[in-house]
Amino acid sequence: MAEIQNVAFIGLGLMGGSFAANLIKSGMRVVGFDPSSTAAKTLQENGGTMADTPGAAAAEADSSSSWSRIRRKSKTF
């Protein structure tokens, strides 16, 4: 099994962004995608690279991960 050096993260919110930052600190190259300009800026400040599309991020990686949040409508009782 080949060693993973390049990782893609699709979704860079609280969870995905934190994982990405820790991987960068450990020496891995991280390419990310997120529609939020704030998430993009944070990843780049941490040393990561942003891709234009999720597919472009995954194409540059040995491994990829996606993170998303499901929003549910709350019910009023």
Q: How does DSSP assign the chain, residue by residue?
A: -PPP-EEEEE--SHHHHHHHHHHHHTT-EEEEE-S-HHHHHHHHHTT-EE-SSHHHHHHT-SEEEE------PPPP-
Tell me, what's the pLDDT at 17?
92
Just give the CATH number of 6-66. Answer: 3.40.50.720
Residue 2, burial from CB neighbour count under 10 angstroms (0-12, 13-18, 19+): exposed
Tell me, what's the pLDDT at 77?
47
Tens of pLDDT along the chain (77 residues)?
567 788 998 999 888 899 999 999 999 999 999 999 999 999 999 999 999 999 999 998 887 666 665 555 555 54
Predicted TM-score of the model (pTM)? 0.77
